[in-house]
Structure 1
Amino acid sequence: MYLRYILFFLLSFTLSSSIAQIAGTYIYSAGVDAGTRTLSFKGSNFSDKSTGHMSGKYGEGSYSLKNNRLYLNYHALKDKDSSIYKIDISNNPSNFTRIYIQAFEEKNPVNGAGVTMRDKNFDVLFSVTTVVNGIADLTIRKHADIHYITIDFIGLNSVTIPFDKLKNKSSNVFVDFKPQLTMLETKRTDVYKVLNLFPEKLILSDLNGTELVFKRAE
């Protein structure tokens, strides 16, 4: 029994030491013109920032280390500089929801914008796209699981609307998209193999076997 406690302590200590060793900021660059990727670790959380010529990417969440694997659990983030929307609502006497959506960017209609129904965990239930003149017209009869509606287009900040604002009503929604200078990472988990962890660098391998050498920031 005493030996079992000693083994448990040693295993716990090793795991805690591994997590502590990955604290700090590490920077990866594939070349002078390729931009950079910066991973920062603090406690059990991380942030991931990539820079490029046209735009950047940003994500954050929690991480864990298990069996020489680094798990990056990206959280769902809201746009910091969100696009604008306006809702005109009238009561609907029926047991269904009607939503008329028109999307613009600088007064120009946006065709092909995604209009997505999401559950309480922000997972996709179903989606449609805007067509001619940036219009999508929906009639929703079964909406027990819908908690959010998102409206988005590549390169533009998305809009998130709580479904309770529209439920059992007839609504006109007008969206004014704003350019997305920094793309947000989607909610997901990425797994990397930890090849080496030195005081001055962190070496990872992705699922494709590509080796990524991150140098510790000064």
Structure 2
Amino acid sequence: EAGHFPPPLLPSSATLHNYRELFLRAGMGRFLFNSLLISTCVMVLSVLFNTLAGYAFAKLRFRGRDRAFRALLAALVIPAQVSMMPLFLLLKQMGLVNTYVGAIVPGMAGIFGIFLVRQYARSIPDELLEAARIDGAGEWRIFFQIVLPVLKPILVTLAIFSFLGAWNDFMWPLIVLSDQGLQTLPVALASLSREHVMDYELMMAGSVVTVVPVLVLFLVLQRYYLQGLLLGSVKG
């Protein structure tokens, strides 16, 4: 039915046969695990490091802060593809090629994430932080007990963006992961389309499997995501 034109709106008989074939014959379970592992690690580490850096650029005073931030913004004009070869050679020297760590490292921090957190953190009143310091709170206590709760909406937004970026990434896993057992879902689906060019049902089932985790993540976090958008529109 998938090869018919125009395709039917509803299938003549619903079946899960293609999903069973996808996991049993094509081994998509392993690729799904790889994508979930890499994307989750990238999401957690990206939120951690981007939050620390963004808060530091927004509220901490240190020498060269503004110059360093402007240099980071200037680096946004450099295409990501330009840095792939130097990064690959660096990871090769460190022995991280064809490992999960090699696929995770480039997504641990990003200029856009730092910029996103920094702009949101600037809305936190300086008087609130100074009052906490006067009461004897250290910088780490201020960060975890005062700053993080305020940043929750933007952190959820950053988490969704980070997960989506790692989940949909095709080029970097294709370059750094040569072992078939370490490949991610987008790379595996691309190889599936080459091996089974006319098997549209199997390819469509793989596309659904690719979309479901992202949809679940958004549904779970949509309340905080929408809250961040609304707060941003009010503050703007």
Higher gyration radius (CA): 1
Greater share of strand: 1
**Quick check: TM above 0.5?**
no
Q: Give the TM-score of the pair, scaled to structure 2.
A: 0.22
The higher relative CO (CA closer than 8 Å, separation ≥ 6) is in: 2
Q: Give the TM-score of the pair, scaled to structure 1.
A: 0.23
Greater share of helix: 2
